[in-house]
Amino acid sequence: MRIYRHYETLPDQARGAAIAIGNFDGVHKGHCQVINEAGLIARDAGIPWAVLTFEPHPRSVFQPGGEPFRLTPFRAKARALEALGVEVMIVQKFNRAFSQSPAEDFVKTVLADGFGAKHVVAGYDFVFGHGRKGNCELLLSLGQKLGFGFTAISAVESPDGFVYSSTRIRQCLETGDPRGAAEILGRPYVIEGRVAHGEKRGRTIGFPTANIHLGTLLRPRRGIYAVRARIEGDTPGQWVKGVANIGTRPTVNGVGDLLEVYLFDFDAEIYRSRLSVELIAFIRDEVKFESVEAMRREIVNDVTKAKAILQSE
């Protein structure tokens, strides 16, 4: 997959594409319906299959002081799109100036002139442009004038009748339901980041951890999880089982949310490596223990429970 950051300088081989448009935070089953529809159109027409997305996420521009909410950082989003087979990823820089552009200008300047789009695909609720005045109806009508086709994808529902959405994924994670999030995503929810130095307290009680700062990522429910982890660069599918804590570490007066992962039967040095951690199941809430020894005893129980969960998966 080729990645471009400027629509003004797209090479000829990336122009004239079938383009799926959206933020695609999570790249969940609903998003995949939009993206794959563009792929079907591209294959039938013999044109490039492209995705147009926006960075940073518009919500972080309009609510810069808001709570962390992001499900999928840029690198993870790019990998998910590549896994679907997308050939071209176009990253539009989103800032206040861009948000002030009239919707009609976006369609003509970016989609028609910049991309030379042959077909555009978006979700039924996609809105864009100044005042969010652009919508699917506008894309359809302007596409007919400017020479590209348009397809709107209806809401994608689960067998139980709920709509697959990023909002619902966030709700699942915030309530400690990673299996519910996985059902919407079509895969386990992953937190990834570079392993940072911690205070190495885990080593003193027999449970050394790899620590990842959450940054702008959504905060799942604080507590203990059964997890699987993989080091970037390892063989695909080479996941190591483990148990993790997401939280502030109140027993040792920790500051700030952190993901701490204890990997079973693993002793390699992975500081500064990038680690992907799948949340498989929630075990218990984070609590403040009366002593480090009491915490150690509970971690032993957590490890036993996590191993049983992961064995049954």
Question: For residue range 152-188, what is the model confidence (pLDDT) as tens digits?
Answer: 999 998 888 889 999 999 999 999 999 999 999 999 9
Count of domains forming the chain:
2
12 lies in some domain: yes
Residue 180 lies in a domain: no
113 falls within a domain: yes
Domain assignment of residue 306, yes or no: yes
pLDDT confidence of residue 290: 85
Last residue of a domain, one of 153, 169, 197: 153
- Whether 257 and 199 map to the same domain: the answer is yes
CATH of the domain at 230: 2.40.30.30
167 in any annotated domain: no
Judge if 147 and 191 occupy the same domain: no
User: Nearest CA to 22 among 90, 116, 118?
Assistant: 90
Residues 228 and 278: beta-carbon distance below 8 Å: yes
Which ranges of the chain would DSSP assign to H, the alpha helix?
A: 29-45, 58-62, 74-84, 96-99, 103-105, 136-146, 166-174, 178-185, 201-204, 292-312
Angle, vertex CA 32, rays to CA 29 and CA 37, nearest 5: 135
Q: Are residues 7 and 122 in the same domain?
A: yes
Residue that is last in its domain, among 128, 153, 178: 153
Q: Tell me if 136 is assigned to some domain.
A: yes
Q: Is residue 165 part of a domain?
A: no
Same domain, 145 and 244: no
What's the average model confidence in pLDDT over 97-117?
A: 94
Q: Are residues 25 and 144 in the same domain?
A: yes
Burial class (CB in 10 A: 0-12, 13-18, 19+), 150: buried
158 domain residue, yes or no: no
| Residues 147, 9 share a domain | yes
Residues 127 and 219 in one domain: no
Residues 224 and 127 grouped into a single domain: no
13: buried, middle or exposed (CB in 10 Å: 19+, 13-18, 0-12)? exposed
Same domain, 243 and 297: yes
Task: For residue 122, list its beta bridge partners.
Answer: 21, 152
pLDDT tens across 8-66, in order?
889 999 999 999 999 999 999 999 999 999 999 999 999 999 999 999 999 999 888 88
| pLDDT at 77 (0 to 100) | 95
Peptide bond into 56 cis (omega under 30): yes
**C-beta atoms surrounding 262 within 10 Å:** 21
What is the CATH classification number for the domain harbouring 118? 3.40.50.620
Residues 110 and 44 in one domain: yes
Instruction: Compute the average pLDDT of residues 226-253.
Output: 83
Task: Look up the domain containing 236 and give its range.
Answer: 187-312
Torsion sign (Cα): 20, 25, 27, 33: negative
Decide: 13 and 48 in contact? Cβ < 8 Å.
Answer: yes
Q: At 76, phi and psi to the nearest 5?
A: -70, -40
pLDDT band at 232 (very low <50, low <70, confident <90, very high): confident
Asked if 305 and 218 sit in the same domain, the reply is: yes
Q: 103 and 202: one domain?
A: no
pLDDT digits (tens, 9 = 90+) for 75-85: 999 999 999 99
Query: For residue 188, which of 54, 272, 261, 282 has the smallest C-alpha distance?
Result: 282
Give dist(CA 57, CA 71) in Å, integer: 11
Q: Rounded CA gap, 228 and 216, in Å?
A: 22
Contact (Cβ atoms closer than 8 angstroms) between residue 96 and residue 62: no
